[in-house]
Amino acid sequence: MTQGIFIDADRYATARELHLALKMMLGLPEHYGCNADALYDCLSERKSCTVNLCILTEGEGETADALKKCSRVIEDLGGEVVRL
């Protein structure tokens, strides 16, 4: 199974806001730690689900940095990241 999500990072002022949006979109557990390591842990527990990410805008500052880290996590777990 593949789950696709779209991110408009300009909508998020902080990395935490971005992670909270990812938590909601991906249905991550309540204990999700809102960082790239926690994202890796939660997504790697999903044995048969790959995430594909479409980035509409990359945001700025800490949001852009967090999105880059999350993109690497998704690619490391076999997902695809597309930047429009």
The predicted pLDDT at position 21 comes to 98
The predicted pLDDT at position 47 comes to 81
The pLDDT tens digits of the residues spanning 46-67 come to 888 899 999 999 999 999 999 9
Structure tokens at 57: 């805008």
The pLDDT tens digits of the residues spanning 5-35 come to 999 999 999 999 999 999 999 999 999 999 9
Distance CA 83, CA 1 (A): 22
What ranges do the domains of the chain cover? Answer: 2-83
> Taking Cα atoms as reference points, which of 73, 83, 69, 62 lies closest to residue 15?
62
Sequential DSSP letters for 31-55? T--SSHHHHHHHHHT-TT-EEEEEE
Residue 41 in this model has a pLDDT that exceeds 90: yes
DSSP secondary structure code for residue 27 in this structure: T
Q: At what angle do helices 36-44 and 15-26 cross, to 10 degrees?
A: 10
Phi/psi of residue 82, nearest 5 degrees: -120, 130
Q: In which band, very low, low, confident or very high, does the pLDDT at 73 lie, cut at 50, 70 and 90?
A: very high
Class of domain 2-83: alpha beta
The predicted pLDDT at position 7 comes to 98
